[in-house]
Structure 1
Amino acid sequence: MCCFPTRWGSSETPHDLVDAFKATLEEVIEGDLLLQSWISVPPRRRNKSRR
């Protein structure tokens, strides 16, 4: 925690970091699920249909 700017305040920093981290994690997880669902549909067929 010593690495982070002290201007945030020691009491606020952990909460802000945790909230930001959770939000980022949720976005990453949602992105992974979208990627997996898209990959489950054969992407090569999509590319061939475009060409």
Structure 2
Amino acid sequence: VIKDDHPVVAAVLDILRQHIEKLEKENCKLKERVLHVERQCGVRQWY
């Protein structure tokens, strides 16, 4: 039973890993956008 489940578990882990990578990329883009807006507004100049 465990051997039969193994490919399913691997597939789910792969999907989760891809989803996490996508979220990390989006997070980086959002951080860059926030920094850009703060620079334009002159907010948080200690960055």
TM-score normalised by the shorter chain: which range applies? 0.5 to 0.7
Please report the RMSD computed on the Cα atoms of aligned residues, expressed in angstroms: 2.0
Q: How many residues align?
A: 37
TM-score after normalising by structure 1: 0.61
Structure 2, unpaired ranges of 5+: none
Structure number with the higher helix fraction is 2
Structure 1, unpaired ranges of 5+: 1-5, 45-51
Q: Which has the higher relative contact order, 1 or 2, with Cα contacts under 8 A spaced 6 or more apart?
A: 2
Runs of at least 4 residues off by over 6 Å = none
TM-score after normalising by structure 2: 0.66
Identity percentage over the alignment? 5
